[in-house]
Amino acid sequence: MTLVNDYLGPAGGGAWFSDAQWLQALLRFESGLARAQADCGLIPEPAALAIASACAQAPLDRDSIAEQARASGALGLALVTPLQQWLQAHAPQGLPWLHWGATTQDAVDTASALLTQQALQALLAELHALVAALVELATRHAATPMLARSLLQPAQITSFGFKCAQSAAALQRSIDQLAQLAPQALCVQLGGAVGNGATLGTHRLAVEQALARNLGLGASGRSWHTQRDTWMRLAMEVAVCCGSLAKLARDWSLMSQYEVGEISEAARGSTSSAMPHKRNPVHCMQAVAQAQAVPPLAALLLGCMAQAHERALGEWQAEVAQWPDLWRHAHGAAAALRHAAQTLQVHPRRMLDHVASLRGLVFSEACVHALAPFTGKHEALAAVEQLAPLALEQQCELQELLLQWAADRTAPERLPLLRCALALACDPQQAVQASQRECLALLATHSAAAFEESTVNAEHTNTCS
């Protein structure tokens, strides 16, 4: 992380792929592999203990490892060298068995899975907290009327709660997908030189399963050196999730504009060096900036799938280098929006003012339906189309213009009924009911899913106990 990146994300965010974390994960692979092979009776127990000691005690110099990896093109090999040196000096019984049956990509892929597991847990924690905050906003504002916009223009009435519930549902779908994909993707890699596990032979699957248990990862039962489909599905769901985050950030940033003013982020002091009156939506800005980088990253990662034969020349290496950025950006966007959502200030009066400023135009469809029984549908539609521009031009209510127009076309005794029908058609609290129903339906679905998830988790805990 650099200074120009750090201020766009949460404090301490994205540290799962630091140099220290990478080295630690690679050491866990080497130590875990030796332990798994000893448990399977393939290498002597003293050798496994020696290798574990080397992984715990061998001095590692980051710059030296980087220089060796630059020369050899293999990061895993650069780590093995200082371990070999330590074993030669302190426990030579472990030397023949260090990294036995594995290739450097096995070490790096497994280390990447370990680090991605941490990144996924951090991302899911932010997403769960964001969804909870959105659900709270949706519950509170299920019937808070506001303008819906289509093609960036005023459309009809929706509710702020419905917008929040829709975003919560989209993010929950990503949470569910990530939970389904993770066990299939976060697996150890143990294919050996060309993916067939030749050195370990018939013991490969047993060693793989033992290694997976040691490291807390899955065991896929196959090599995925150049078949990256399962791994990439996890990444692409992260990218889809970022799309949902970007949509939410874009909507909220537009609603936060001063001339709109329907929501605002909590005050945090000065946000402008030259204009002290400004109240910039900083969290939305951070989320937009983080999410902006994800589509090209997703495309780059997909492009890395065209890996030649059994081991890639450049594509896999590019994937490993770019992979951490995807998780850093996703986590940063989720964290920023979680901060925004938990302290968001909603301005219902301002939302109603925008509705009122349109002089009933957003109720034009409802006015046609209200007018049609009295004048006929064709005539009602023509009247609304003709009078709607006049309502804005003359700054008078559309329903009043329609009543004046209908006075010569409707029996006098029916005019009070028409007035009531038009008043109902132009009532924001009446218009918001459809969005309120949809909002409550989404919230009910979310509550049912959350209850089912908690039940499954409780059963899993009881089974483990």
As its CATH architecture, domain 361-425 has Orthogonal Bundle (1.10)
pLDDT at 236 over 80: yes
pLDDT at 283 over 70: yes
Q: What is the mean pLDDT of the chain?
A: 93
At 116 the pLDDT is 98
pLDDT at 455 over 70: no
Same topology between domain 1-102+197-220 and domain 361-425: no
Domain ranges for the chain: 1-102+197-220, 106-187+224-350, 361-425
Residues sharing a CB contact under 8 Å with residue 437, sequence separation 6 or more, in sequence order: none
Share of the chain above pLDDT 70, in %: 95
> pLDDT by residue (tens digit) across 362-406?
999 999 999 999 999 999 999 999 999 999 999 999 999 999 999
pLDDT at 278 over 70: no
At 458 the pLDDT is 58
Residues 137 and 263: their CA atoms lie apart, in Å, by 12
> pLDDT by residue (tens digit) across 26-85?
999 999 999 999 999 999 999 999 999 999 999 999 999 999 999 998 888 899 999 999
DSSP per residue, 117-152: HHHHHHHHHHHHHHHHHHHHHHHHTTT-EEEEEETT
> pLDDT by residue (tens digit) across 313-339?
999 999 999 999 999 999 999 999 999
* Mean pLDDT on 127-152: 98
Question: DSSP class of residue 42?
Answer: S
CATH number, span 106-187+224-350: 1.20.200.10
**Rounded to whole angstroms, what are the CA distances from 267 to 45, 47, 419?**
61, 60, 45
At 364 the pLDDT is 96
* Mean pLDDT on 101-109: 97
At 322 the pLDDT is 97
Residues 126 and 28: their CA atoms lie apart, in Å, by 27
At 269 the pLDDT is 55
Q: Which amino acids are annotated catalytic?
A: 272, 311
As its CATH architecture, domain 1-102+197-220 has Orthogonal Bundle (1.10)
Q: Work out the angle at residue 369's Cα, subtended by the Cα atoms of residues 402 and 410, and round it to the nearest 5 degrees.
A: 45
Residues sharing a CB contact under 8 Å with residue 284, sequence separation 6 or more, in sequence order: 249, 252, 253, 256, 265, 336, 337, 340
What confidence tier does 10 reach under pLDDT thresholds 50, 70, 90?
A: confident
